[in-house]
Structure formats: C-alpha cells, structure tokens
Amino acid sequence: MSGQPTKIMLDESEIPRRWYNLLADLPAPPPPVLHPGTLQPVGPDDLAPLFPMALIGQEVSTDRYIDIPEPVLDVYRLWRPSPLYRAHRLEKALGTPAKLFYKYEGVSPAGSHKPNTAVAQAYYNAEAGIRRLTTETGAGQWGTALAFACAQFGLACEVWQVRASYDQKPYRKIMIETFGGTIHPSPSDLTAAGRKVLAEHPDSPGSLGIAISEAVEVAAQHADTNYALGSVLNHVLLHQTVIGEEALLQFAKVGMTPDLIVGCTGGGSNFAGLTFPFLREKLAGKSDVTIRAVEPAACPSLTKGVYAYDFGDTAGMTPLLKMHTLGHDFIPDPIHAGGLRYHGMSPLISHIYELGLIEAVAKTQLECFEAGVRFARTEGIVPAPEPTHALAACIEEALRCKETGEEKVILTALCGHGHLDLAAYGTYLAGEMVDRELSDEAIAAAVAALPQVAAH
C-alpha cells in the first residue's frame, strides 16, 4: 500500500543501551516526595525497606542517561526491538490523509510494555540479594510481567490482583502461575489493609490503591522481600524509555517525525516510555510535536483531579507524592481497562502537565471499545482495553484531519494486546457495555476526602 513500509523494524544490535532520564532536561524540578510523618523530603533510608539501592538511586538521579545492564539487555532481546507499524489499513478505512503509526509492545512475553521495567526491577533486586518480590496488578499485565521477570532471575513473585479484574480475567491468574508466581484477589484477608477494607465492604471490587497497600505491607514485614511497582515512579518511567528511543530511530529510517503522539495513561509508564525521548527532542528545539495523554472518563485524574500531595496507596502507607489525584481512597468504577483504574497520576507526568508540556483528554469506554474493534478489523490486532483509549483519540484526530485535509503524522502507543481481555470485547459486542463517566459531584466528594496532610 502506497509504497511505504507497513513494519519499520530495527536490528537487535539497535536496541537502546541506555535509558533516558527526562529529569535532566526539565526547566524546573518536580516537587519532592515527602515523608508523611515529618513532611520532609524522603531520603534513601526511608525507601530502603521496599526497594534496592540501585533503584532508589535511579528514582532521584538527574543523570541524563543510565546504562542498561547487560543481563537486562539480554532478556530484552527476547522481544526487543518492537515493531513500529504504519496503520495503512486503518487510514484507508477512515479515509484520512493523516499518516498513522503505532509502536506495538504486545510482542513482549507478557503481551504489553510492562516487562521493560519488570526485567530491570527483578535484576536489581536479585543483585541486592532479595529472594521475593510482591506487587499489585490491575489488568493483570503487570503481574504477568513481574512473574516472568522473576522467573528469569530466580526470584519468587507474589501478586495481589484487583478483585474486579481477577474476576473478569481468569486467564491472567493461570499465566502468572505458569511463570511461577503466586496470585491473590485484592482485597484479601492475608493483610491488615485487605481485612480492613473487607470488614467495611465485603463485596469491594478492589482498586490499585488497595492492592498496593497489601503488597507494600507484606514487603515491609520481611527482610528478604521487596516491593515492585509497575508504574508511577520515576525509575519505572525511566525503564520504559526504550520504547521511545526505538521509535525515534524507526521514524528516522522513514524520514518522518510525528506531529502528534497519543498514549493512554493509568499511572503513566507506557505514555512516558514512548513520549519522553520525543520530549527531549522538543525541549532541545528539534521538534514541535504535540503530546496528548488519554485517560478514562471513569478515572480522570489528570483532567479532573486536583494537583496535591497524596498517598500512592489506599491505606496511606506510602510516602506523599505530589500528583494529580482523585484521592487515595477513591475507588473507580470497575471499567474494563483495569490498568487505568488508578486514583493518581505519576508525579513526573503530573509535573510536566503543570508545565504545559503535554495535553490530556478523557474518553468513555464505549468510544474506546468502538475504536478497538475498528482497529482489530483493519490492522488485525485486538488491543488491550487500555490502549483503546489512545486509539480512540488517534481516530478522532485522523477524522479531524479528514475534515481539514491535513497530512498529520500521528504516533500511538499500542502498549498491549487484548488476547486475555476477550470477555470485555464479548460484553461490548453483545451490546451490554455501559459508559461510566464520573459525575462532577462524585469528583468533588472524592477530592474533598483528601487527607489534611495533603494540603501541605
């Protein structure tokens, strides 16, 4: 079609050898992470019960580049570099003059971008002598990724999966167990945090915030156990930048640069991974790309939350993070994009949103699934529910270009496939899916419940 390639591939030798740290290039540093007791910035010792020093160092580093250790690169070679696709068939179906591209991370062992950081985190923990990692998972993608990564480095892996997703996606449990991990629905009666929620709400659908509390609690109680987070924190976003670095090389091969990049945001890691290297180019005056985050209307932390200090988890065990938040005890409706049901947004993404470096929009799930089905029928990949948000925004823009005649180059993060999310597609195709948009009253109530401490 059109003489242009459909897949833009890189050689294995072109896998990036360093991660890119946006903190080195920002015009202003983000606000510090605070200790909830003292309200002073946290130091490495505060984080040491949960994370190895190498990752704590990366969390606060301002070095522009951080070398990727060889054992991590060696595991990356199982699926990296990932392909960049030109969506010729979708373009044709839409009748748009826009040029649509998607960077596909569904080729990884877990089926999403999550192993890019899971492998790095498992490696640094194994190097530090840790024997077990605990974590939360929403959609199940992150839990699968960490179970896979732990298997690569001989670690045990224990996962708390948000109850709503655990019930919706039974095959994720089997996949995590196949990789050697252990999985519990959250809230569970295995932790004080879980028992407290169950006592008040026995039918709780769970939330990422609750599952984080459970995983953090267990890690904090055992010296040989650390906690791993699949999004939100600086070091997680850092590890994902291999996506954008590859995409830059791939665009250079076809002599183009994107005018617009759209990505879905749960905690912000796939979005950051794809966009931060492009943002580096923009900050250096080498591009004028527009960068747009897309979140669910049922959990609109960037577009409707407040920018305030809040806990990362529901029980209030984590340090205080300055971020766009709906309040740490906000429980989003059980939409099918489980990976986007997080009450807050990465502090780094929140900061660059405040600086005006990115835009944000919210989409309802029916529009997203419509986009996902359209994409599957043209491009042949069934997307995970999370990136259908990015696809919906991409299609919206492509149709706008149809009106204006603009030949805009649009890049989308297709951060995972939806092969284990088919029940959600079944619900959509049966006409049984409902839109869940959060009312202004519900948002006001959620935000009003922010703890006093959050006002500091």
Ligand X SMILES: Cc1ncc(COP(=O)(O)O)c(C=O)c1O
Instruction: Give me the residues that bind ligand X (CB under 6 A), please.
Output: 112, 138-139, 141-142, 231, 264-271, 339-340, 384, 386-387, 415-416
Smaller CB separation from ligand X, 91 or 295: 295
Smaller CB separation from ligand X, 258 or 339: 339
Closest residue by beta carbon to ligand X? 339
Smaller CB separation from ligand X, 90 or 340: 340
413, exposed or middle or buried, with CB in 10 Å at 0-12, 13-18, 19+?
Answer: buried
What sign does the dihedral 236-239-244-247 (CA atoms) show? negative
Minimum distance of ligand X from residue 236's CB (angstroms): 7
Smaller CB separation from ligand X, 55 or 98: 55
Minimum distance of ligand X from residue 136's CB (angstroms): 10
Smaller CB separation from ligand X, 94 or 147: 147
Torsion region of 232: left, alpha or beta (phi above 0 gives left; psi -120 to 50 gives alpha)? left
The answer to whether 267 touches 232, Cβ cutoff 8 Å, is: yes
Q: Which residues contact 135 (CB under 8 A, 6 or more apart)?
A: 142, 143, 146, 157, 158, 159, 160, 215, 227, 228, 229, 230
Smaller CB separation from ligand X, 16 or 138: 138
Minimum distance of ligand X from residue 419's CB (angstroms): 11
Q: Give the three-state DSSP class for 6.
A: coil
Minimum distance of ligand X from residue 406's CB (angstroms): 28
Minimum distance of ligand X from residue 145's CB (angstroms): 8
Smaller CB separation from ligand X, 139 or 348: 139
333: number of Cβ within 10 Å: 18
Torsion region of 76: left, alpha or beta (phi above 0 gives left; psi -120 to 50 gives alpha)? alpha
For 110-166, give the DSSP string: TSBSTHHHHHHHHHHHHHTT--EEEEEESSSHHHHHHHHHHHHHT-EEEEEEEHHHH
Q: Which residues contact 402 (CB under 8 A, 6 or more apart)?
A: 94, 95, 96, 97, 98
| Integer Cα distance of 391 and 84 in angstroms | 15
Minimum distance of ligand X from residue 131's CB (angstroms): 25
Smaller CB separation from ligand X, 99 or 336: 336
Q: Which residues contact 329 (CB under 8 A, 6 or more apart)?
A: 209, 314, 343, 449
The answer to whether 47 touches 60, Cβ cutoff 8 Å, is: no
Minimum distance of ligand X from residue 283's CB (angstroms): 22
Minimum distance of ligand X from residue 439's CB (angstroms): 24
